[in-house]
Structure 1
Amino acid sequence: MTPPLSLPNRTALSVNVNKVALVRNTRHLGIPSVTRAAELCLQAGAQGITVHPRPDERHIRGQDVYELATLMKAWPDREYNIEGNPSQNLMDFIRQVRPHQATFVPDSEDQFTSDHGWSFPQDAERLAPLVAECRALGVRVSLFMDPVPEQMAAARAVGADRVELYTEPYAAAWGMPQQSAEIKRYAAAAQAALDAGLGVNAGHDLNRDNLATFVREVPCVLEVSIGHALIADALELGYAATVQAYLACINDGHSAARAHNS
């Protein structure tokens, strides 16, 4: 049985370094270094590193997964999250590396980027034994999910520890008339997850503009995984300043939430 949730004072920032690997793979020089990027982000205060190694190795390669696992041993207070489809190549990495967290994502092999979550009851039968295997290895499992409150109890029923709310619809609505309705959808889904005994993660297209509001409005977000926007910002600001800016957004969101609730 999963132990009771221990909610942190601050949402953890896990930096997805896939886009660093994407740039590196355009040449055969080994630069920019994925492990160096991860190290600089950790030094700047990021609480974790995320990778999504796809079968075609378009960005993160198998060797990156293992080199990052070695790096993370020097940061025992930080977390390593490996994402992917457990029906493809993910489980081999989980069995060998045993990261802190495995995030199951229902991507097809040729999918451009993650764009939807798991569905229940359709996916329950194939997910349950894979979730059980991860947990037997001591690996926490998070399921990539659309913000549908009615799906959260089913995610918990297959043994998941957390859900990662797919936030692209929220990001797309930012600054639009539907922004308020979208954030309410995510708040309701997060509350349903909490009620079911799940932890709540979030990710996809979160950035310096929309992150603070998300953290303020969505209850008890344990972790945000951010890659594309963060790495794009780092091209202009550098890794350290960028990570610190995202951590400031998270702090601003929590401060606003506390002020609202006081």
Structure 2
Amino acid sequence: MEVFLNADAWIALLTLTFLEIVLGIDNIIFISIVTGKLPEENRKKATRIGLFLAMFMRIGLLMGISYLIAMKQTLFGVNWSWFSAEFTGQALILFAGGLFLIYKSTKEISEKVDHHGAEEKTLKTAAKKSFSNVIVQILLIDLIFSVDSILTAVGMTNGVQGALTIMITAVVISVLIMMLFAVPVGNFVNANPSIQILGLSFLILIGFMLITESMHLSEATLLGEHIGAIPKGYLYFAIAFSVAVEFINMKVRK
């Protein structure tokens, strides 16, 4: 595993694992609601089986997205007076992913502020008693949340050596943590909702970084100026600093 001989790989792994866990909080909450319809002795089993199967589904999606990201041939170009670029398949995926992350994160923050609990109530109404149906619902829920997770992983590791290995490792670690500590982690974030808002705010930054990265790969120019990529070190520092400040605030509040 010579990939992890690089300090940048460890920083990316730790940061991505943290974000994967934060992004998985909604997943944990929804799963707890779905499994709540089962007999108590089957709830933990259903949660673990569902998350275990979802882990392999997420790894498969990661491999597929990584294959698409490798498309570096120019598909089309634009040459306007104020903007020009040569778009590749890789750049288009990163651009679309960045827009999606910004939109989804902004929407999630708005819903958590203005309509807290609406999603949980909707899912609770749809929950079924059958064990197999619960497993299917867990997989469907994870599929929905995998979009954010995978785009975050791509944005955090794009250009880092051994990116796919880092992403898969982060997914495995985060899912194992969720399997072991689903209830405590969910309770912790529910008691400290600012952590979840912080994680969604990071997604906005990552979405913006994906967009600038796509423009950089397309050799885009805006008003005569070349659009460069944002160094990932800036993002790592911003996340680490924000998390440190938030934990200090939590300690002060207590």
Structure with greater strand percent: 1
TM surpasses 0.5: no
Structure with greater helix percent: 2
User: Which of structures 1 and 2 has the larger relative contact order (alpha carbons within 8 angstroms, sep 6+)?
Assistant: 2
TM-score in terms of structure 2 length: 0.28
